[in-house]
Amino acid sequence: MDETDRRIVDVLRVDARLSISELAQRVGVSRASAYARFNRLVTERVIRRFTVEVDPAALGEGLAAYVHVRIKQNSWKSFRTKAWALAEAEHVALVAGDFDCVLLVRARDTAHLRQVVLERIQALPEVVATQTVLIFEEHHGHL
């Protein structure tokens, strides 16, 4: 990956719906070069998928929290499968520190969040402890 490839990725992070012609113009390369580079970035899985960013509040998921989870030793594989299956878990990460895993959970309200944390996450046999941190405000920046 060279600097031109990085510029292509940066431009697409902001707006992945750009046409190849517009992408080429913004990056300062020919349309053919932009097309070839774009295809290579997709084929080599530098660009893994295309998605849309939505407003969680508009979807009725106005409450967000990080749920820090401590799990039993050697139970990461079974825990992650169950965590990935949680519809409310937008992001699941294995981390180092006091906790083993962090989940970004989106819920309708505090009752829904309570149900997810206490009745679904804490009920998993792999879970030793949890700590929930409410998110008051978010910013999704682009590199």
3-class state of residue 13 by DSSP: helix
CATH 3.30.70.920 location in the chain = 56-135
pLDDT of residue 19: 94
In which residue are the tokens 């990080």 written?
66
Confidence of residue 142 (pLDDT cuts 50, 70, 90): low
Give the pLDDT confidence of 89-141 residue by residue, as tens digits: 999 999 999 999 999 999 999 999 999 999 999 999 999 999 999 999 988 76
CATH 1.10.10.10 location in the chain = 3-43
Structure token digits, residue 135 = 């998110």
Does position 13 have pLDDT exceeding 60, yes or no? yes
Give the pLDDT confidence of 59-85 residue by residue, as tens digits: 878 899 999 999 999 999 999 999 999
Rounded to a whole number of angstroms, the CA Rg of the chain reads 20
Q: Which CATH code fits 56-135?
A: 3.30.70.920
Identify the CATH assignment for 3-43 out of 1.20.140.10, 1.10.10.10, 3.40.50.620, 2.160.10.10. 1.10.10.10
